[in-house]
Structure 1
Amino acid sequence: MKSLRARLAADPAIGTGNVLQRVLAHGADPAGPGLTFDTAVDHFPAEHPLTLGELDDRVQARTAWLHEHGIGRRDVVAIWATEAQDIVLSFLALARVGAIPALMNGKMTPAIADEYIRRLRVTAVLADAAHRPLLRTDVLAEPRELGTGDRGKAPEHYRHHADDPVVITHTSGTTGVPKAVMHTHTTLYAALKHLLTMPQAQGTDRILNALPIPHTATVLMVNQVLGNRAEMLLLSSQDAPDVLRQIERWKPRAVYGFAVTWAGLAREDLGAHDLDSVRMWFNTGDCAHEPHIRRLVAVGTRETVTREGRTSVKGSHFVDGLGSSEMGHNGFHITHTIDSDHYGRCIGKPYQFAEAAVLSSAGDELPPGKAGLLGFRSPSVSPGYWNDSVNTYRFRLNGWFLTGDLAYRDETGHYFHLDRIPDAVAGFEGPQLFTSMSEERILAALPEAADCTVVIVQENGRYVADVMLELDPDAEDRDRTADVTSAVGEDVAAIIRTVTTVAADDVPVTVTGKVRKVALREKRLAGADA
């Protein structure tokens, strides 16, 4: 008899909109693992591990509430909240009635949240008690109110077509109002169907989810752990001290997060904490910096095969790559251990379900070693931005989705990330000025630097670069201009204007922790004009 994972992989009806239902339909034990949240769910206390049956029961109650209040097929319902359970349970219930949940990060400013909701043209809004009074838009209810529904009155599960839209998430909003990324029943499950046919990765039986809860990545993780019959604790806060505390308390074997969380963890004295349970760190979104990865793989344990058999050794795995809401899953992957030396912003190779290429501005594929636009093709790619065909087609070129990144590949087929397009000065001819690669080189050269930000602006007809270093608390107070200049390479070294020391709070970030370099550039240009 096929295993449950094999049956799910072969199920033509399964997709992002019905995973919970299909897992139960294929015979999963209702007493087995569902999801665990860090706050209370209805009458269950915080960190109660909901069984699969309890999870289904709580989703059914919310489905009944939505049905009773007239929410159904194709209704777009925005959810603005902080707690993981508010967002995830509302998403699962809205999918059951055929609605389209639009998940919003709780750190959005109210003005941007209102404008984002307006652009979505929503049917209704759910907002928690903290966010409800911040909106000018009418709010239908707080997400926790949905739990009062009578599960016995829940309608039949909506039957999704493969192309049905099932969720809207959003980009980081580095340049203003985030773009609304739409995914269908099949696009956001395509990668998971592939992974179900592969051996389950080490550590993925007990996962700490430190990803932003309203992000596409968390939707993927919810569906992945339900299919794998794994345990997962979802954190409402992704701040490094909260993540570190939960690792020690909950003892996960894998931790999933964004680069900003790894940078935060790397600032801590990891040797002073009990992190032995961790077998794997999994990064998505922006690729991570080498010094942060090295500090993480030095802790935890992993299993390896020796002549004496399978044994545990000191040091964990770090799976790096590059992903985005639009890509639908990490498009690339590379695994690091304590012995790794393949860094330099290497994001590895594409997954088997995906294709990638480095492109010219005309969409022609460039040879190895040549920097260009990163193109991506996969059944997991979003069909487009909700109510925004202009941007949907702007990011398509010659059959490829443009990720917004600059990259190159080497002769072995490994891809290397250079920068985000808006942050670089890099035509196909002329100067090659990359901020992300410069940050990588500076961090590798300065062990006392916990983090680093480089911005490039044009001033009086020439480019200048400003470097902001966040140093360890015990770092020596000295001028590091010479160290920075020797680290970044000729082109960037020639334009360095300032090297300053900053605190973490001095650098503006988006709701998902990405540095808002556009804001830093505008600030510097305003200062130059003053």
Structure 2
Amino acid sequence: MKPSDLGTLFEDLVDRGVRTVAELDRPLDIAPDFGTTYTMADLAGLVRNAAGWLHAAGVGPGDRVAVVKENHWDYVLLAAAAARLGAVPALLSDHLPPQTLQVLLKRLDPALLVTSTGVLDNARDDETDLMGFGRRTLVLDGRYPGAIDLAALRGTRPPGFVRRAPDAPLIINHTSGTTGTPKLVLHTAETLIHQLAAREAQRVPVLSSRSCDTVASAIAYCHGRAVPWTMSVLWLAPEKVVVIGSGSPEALFTHRPTTVEALPSVYVRWQGLTQVPGNPFEDVRLYVSTFDAMHPPTVRAFLGASRRRHPLWVQVWGQTETGPMTFRFLTRRSVASRADRHPTTRNLGRPVPGRTRLKVVDPRTFQEVPAGRPGLVLVRTSARCVDYVGESERYAAKLSGGWWNSGDVGVRTRTGSYLLLDREVDVIPGQSCVELEDVIEDRVPSVVECVVLGTPGQLPVPVVVTTTGALDPAEWIAAVRDLPALADPVVFTWDRVPRTGTGKVRRMELRALLHRGPATFGTGHWT
């Protein structure tokens, strides 16, 4: 038996006798007085109650429900509640600029906007009205003029469960939006549950959650990864899941994890914890990273923090539209410091066996290129999303004979693995921004993060993030002495860099901040 329906997920887990306990870093925004410990029965009851609230707010089968709130696991619970009604949840990050949220809400035309006073106040301060693009607005944390107060709906009985066809719309998530307005990615039960969550819920040695595991997650719960993670991990019934929405690591000291999945930006911010006595990662056997590139020093630090004999890091390359495309195991040996400058994490491994096929093509002719030659990476997978809401033509333009244009530039090696060079829009001819970032972070310990921006007619500019906002000039000169010519580094602290809800750098906004202009070597046609 495999997970098959988001709307009844938690009830199905109760029926299966799953005794996993969920520990949260803070109370849920939809249940602020309940506390931070939940059984599966507690979660099933909360989803039923939430379905009652949504129904009382006028949501019915086929309606879209937009959710914009602070990051936490109740994104997934609200999605399950909407799915129980036969509605289609659309999960949007509160980190999106108000004007971007307005564009996305206009495309969605939701029957209900579920949000918070903080989101609405922030939009109002930006002279943006978010309430005008849905029929009704439900506020989770108090009264707001023109909106429904959640307190008025509590206690409403939910209607019966509505079952939908496997190919009917199930959920909408948005892409990261690093290069502009995010796309609204539409998945069905077939693509998101049957092809992703259900397959991940199968037991695989090393990778799958075990009954004795404490599984920690610190991701963006509005992201397309959140629902498959929730369904697959809980279906495998570990002893405990630790859900971190705030990014604060305090819960890890109380509930010490054996497996960790986190945003790359969270791993970077937690890296200092790997050096403290009694660090919370001492018992971790498995780390998982998706969402964005991870650089060698960070991977090395976390593998070194574990007291296990052979801890593993699983690096997954995927997209909201496709799910995982490749994966690779990293070990202490594979990320050990090296004297040469070849990166240790640009090789993203091989396609997922039996599920995904990749090929590299010339960006002009779309003819497949031989191994060793860079090109656009195309992917074929049954987990591919079915549309971009409000941008169907854009979706169709990224398809070529059943192959999906990832927008990434890479190389297929002669052994069948894939090297990631850059996003097409970020590419620098003859170089790799990601590789340069790898090398710089590896050579300059004070650099927390590096972003290299290329502009035609100018030297690439490295933007380096340090804790203090300062950089030792001598250390920098020594680090880049044998690298391609670079402009002088721009030094920022973490908070000065514009980011998405998953912590990715908004490169176009960063370019504007540095007055570099919008021109890039890439076309940006496939972002």
TM-score, normalised with respect to structure 1 = 0.84
Structure 2: distance between partners of 1:235 and 1:248: 12
The size of the alignment, in residue pairs, is: 485
Is the 1:182–1:384 contact (alpha carbons within 8 Å) kept by the matching residues of 2? yes
Q: What SS does the aligned partner of 2:319 have?
A: coil
Q: 1:226 to 1:344 in 2, by over 3 A?
A: closer
Q: Which runs of 5 or more residues in structure 1 are unaligned?
A: 1-6, 303-312, 426-430
Q: 1:265 to 1:43 in 2, by over 3 A?
A: closer
Which of 493, 516, 519 does residue 509 from structure 2 map onto?
Answer: 519
Given residue 335 of structure 1, which amino acid in structure 2 is its aligned partner? F
Q: Aligned pair 1:266/2:271, yes or no?
A: yes
Q: 1:518 to 1:118 in 2, by over 3 A?
A: same
| Corresponding position of 1:277 | 283
Which of 128, 137, 149 does residue 130 from structure 2 map onto?
Answer: 137
Structure 1: distance between partners of 2:467 and 2:399: 42
Given residue 220 of structure 1, which amino acid in structure 2 is its aligned partner? P
Deviation per CA, 1:391-435, whole angstroms, max 9, x where unpaired?
21222233211122111121111111111111113xxxxx32321
Q: Tell which deviates more after alignment, 413-422 or 132-141.
A: 132-141
| Corresponding position of 1:376 | 379
Structure 2: distance between partners of 1:437 and 1:147: 54
Q: What SS does the aligned partner of 1:282 have?
A: strand
Q: What SS does the aligned partner of 1:373 have?
A: strand
Q: What SS does the aligned partner of 2:332 have?
A: coil
Deviation per CA, 1:23-64, whole angstroms, max 9, x where unpaired?
44xx4116x22644333353763321x222221111111112
Which of 289, 309, 318 does residue 323 from structure 1 map onto?
Answer: 318
Q: 1:60 to 1:447 in 2, by over 3 A?
A: same
Which of 67, 83, 97 does residue 109 from structure 1 map onto?
Answer: 97
Structure 1: distance between partners of 2:41 and 2:72: 19
Which of 503, 510, 517 does residue 500 from structure 2 map onto?
Answer: 510
Structure 2: distance between partners of 1:454 and 1:91: 37
State the Cα distance separating 1:436 from its structure 2 match.
1.4
State the Cα distance separating 1:506 from its structure 2 match.
3.0
Which of 13, 20, 24 does residue 10 from structure 2 map onto?
Answer: 20
Q: Percent identity?
A: 24
Given residue 468 of structure 1, which amino acid in structure 2 is its aligned partner? V
State the Cα distance separating 1:514 from its structure 2 match.
0.9
Structure 2: distance between partners of 1:444 and 1:467: 14
Given residue 46 of structure 1, which amino acid in structure 2 is its aligned partner? G
| Corresponding position of 1:337 | 331
Which of 441, 444, 452 does residue 443 from structure 1 map onto?
Answer: 441
Is the 2:101–2:130 contact (alpha carbons within 8 Å) kept by the matching residues of 1? no
TM-score, normalised with respect to structure 2 = 0.85
State the Cα distance separating 1:162 from its structure 2 match.
0.9
Structure 1: distance between partners of 2:392 and 2:208: 40
Q: What SS does the aligned partner of 1:433 have?
A: coil
Q: Tell which deviates more after alignment, 354-363 or 39-48.
A: 39-48
Q: Aligned pair 1:62/2:50, yes or no?
A: yes
Q: What SS does the aligned partner of 1:298 have?
A: helix
| Corresponding position of 1:178 | 182
Q: What SS does the aligned partner of 2:282 have?
A: coil
Given residue 8 of structure 1, which amino acid in structure 2 is its aligned partner? K
Structure 2: distance between partners of 1:415 and 1:483: 30
Is the 2:409–2:421 contact (alpha carbons within 8 Å) kept by the matching residues of 1? yes
| Corresponding position of 2:430 | 432
Q: 1:18 to 1:374 in 2, by over 3 A?
A: farther
Which of 198, 212, 216 does residue 220 from structure 2 map onto?
Answer: 212
Q: 1:433 to 1:318 in 2, by over 3 A?
A: same
Structure 2: distance between partners of 1:270 and 1:16: 40
Q: 1:476 to 1:132 in 2, by over 3 A?
A: closer
Q: Which runs of 5 or more residues in structure 2 are unaligned?
A: 124-128, 142-149, 336-342, 520-527
| Corresponding position of 1:286 | 292
Q: What SS does the aligned partner of 1:74 have?
A: coil
| Corresponding position of 1:349 | 350
Is the 1:480–1:499 contact (alpha carbons within 8 Å) kept by the matching residues of 2? no
Given residue 292 of structure 1, which amino acid in structure 2 is its aligned partner? T
Q: 1:501 to 1:216 in 2, by over 3 A?
A: same
Which of 404, 408, 429 does residue 401 from structure 1 map onto?
Answer: 404
State the Cα distance separating 1:197 from its structure 2 match.
3.3
Is the 2:173–2:185 contact (alpha carbons within 8 Å) kept by the matching residues of 1? yes
Q: 1:289 to 1:147 in 2, by over 3 A?
A: farther
Is the 1:456–1:521 contact (alpha carbons within 8 Å) kept by the matching residues of 2? no
Which of 20, 26, 35 does residue 46 from structure 1 map onto?
Answer: 35
Deviation per CA, 1:74-127, whole angstroms, max 9, x where unpaired?
111111111524422211100100111111112222222222211211111011
Which of 453, 456, 465 does residue 454 from structure 2 map onto?
Answer: 456
State the Cα distance separating 1:132 from its structure 2 match.
3.2
Deviation per CA, 1:209-264, whole angstroms, max 9, x where unpaired?
101111111111111122112332222223xxx13x22212212111112111222
Structure 2: distance between partners of 1:398 and 1:149: 50
Given residue 359 of structure 1, which amino acid in structure 2 is its aligned partner? V
Given residue 95 of structure 2, which amino acid in structure 1 is its aligned partner? K
Given residue 366 of structure 2, which amino acid in structure 1 is its aligned partner? G
Which of 462, 475, 479 does residue 467 from structure 1 map onto?
Answer: 462
CA RMSD of aligned residues (A): 2.7
Is the 2:467–2:494 contact (alpha carbons within 8 Å) kept by the matching residues of 1? no
Deviation per CA, 1:286-319, whole angstroms, max 9, x where unpaired?
13111110011001233xxxxxxxxxx2x63211
| Corresponding position of 1:478 | 473
| Corresponding position of 1:226 | 234
Structure 1: distance between partners of 2:432 and 2:174: 26
Which of 185, 192, 200 does residue 188 from structure 1 map onto?
Answer: 192
State the Cα distance separating 1:200 from its structure 2 match.
5.4
